[in-house]
Structure formats: C-alpha cells, structure tokens
Amino acid sequence: MTDIGEGALTLVDVAAGQTSPESERALAARAGETVRFVGFVSRYDDTPADEFVLTRYVVSCCVADAMIASVRTVNVTPGVFAEDEWVEVRGTIYPVGREVIVDASAIRKVDRPERPYLTP
C-alpha cells in the first residue's frame, strides 16, 4: 500500500496502519506529527459534542475492496460541523492501538473533493 514511515501522513496511511501489527507500529512511531486530512464528518450516538470522526473511503481496485479510513477528531467546537459535511482538519496525530486521534488545531469546511475516494 504505502510506506507509513516516510513522507507526509495521509488517510491512506491511517487505513494501512490498521491492517497489520507491523503497520500499526509504523503509524504509532509517527505520534506527535502534524497532519492535514480532508474527509467528511461522521458522528455516532456516543460521540461527544466536542469531537467527530473524520472519514474517507479508500478503494484499491473496486468498491468491493473499499476500506474506511477514519480518525477521531478532538478539540472541535460543538455545533459547528454537521454530519456528512466535508472538512479539512489540521492537527497533531496520536495513534493509540487501532484508534487514531487527531488533536485539531484548525478545522475548516471545504467542498466535496472531485475524487472523494482515495486510492493508494
């Protein structure tokens, strides 16, 4: 897929980091780095008001092999970002096991990308 240990981290790296213990360790080694991710806002019944899950689909070949790349985004102003709204999140990444947290320093609304699905 990608080399998680090098270059700017992407949501494709996050998805890859959840596929094997080796990839999980490679992603964990990047804790504390600054990231910029674009995705859509997801919320669940237990999502705190000051958080959301930033989500994007990763497709290698076809829809049948699609994976979800998601990061728990914290430090969010409650009530500003709606479910399914596209946003750009900048912040610091903290992989904790299979969960990936981004402590947001800036979040802004963006248009849905022309290519909403990511490819490795």
Beta bridge partners of 95: 100
Range of the domain at 98: 11-109
Q: Which residues contact 90 (CB under 8 A, 6 or more apart)?
A: 34, 35, 36, 104, 105, 106, 107
User: Among residues of the chain, what percentage have pLDDT more than 90?
Assistant: 77
Q: pLDDT per residue over 75-117, tens digit each?
A: 999 999 999 999 999 999 999 988 999 999 999 999 999 999 9
Q: pLDDT tens digits for 9-28?
A: 999 999 988 888 898 999 99
Residue 116 lies inside a defined structural domain of this protein: no
Confidence of residue 1 (pLDDT cuts 50, 70, 90): very low
- Cα separation, 85 vs 82, in Å, equals 5
Instruction: Name the residue with higher pLDDT: 5 or 8.
Output: 8
* Within-domain flag for 44: yes
Joined tokens for residue 4? 């998680």
pLDDT tier for residue 2 given thresholds of 50, 70 and 90: low
The model's pLDDT over 45-55, given as tens digits with 9 standing for 90+, comes to 999 999 999 99
Domain count, the chain: 1
- Whether 89 is in a domain gets the answer yes
What is the spatial distance between Cα 104 and Cα 89, in angstroms, rounded to a whole number? 6
- Closest by CA position to 78, among listed 35, 34, 43, 112: 43
Instruction: Please report whether residue 47 resides in a domain.
Output: yes
Distances (CA, A) of 108 to 52, 63, 66, 118: 13, 28, 26, 20
Tell how strand 67-74 and strand 86-96 pair up: unpaired
> Does residue 86 sit within a domain?
yes
Question: Which CATH number does the domain housing residue 79 bear?
Answer: 2.40.50.140
Q: Is residue 4 part of a domain?
A: no
pLDDT of residue 64: 77
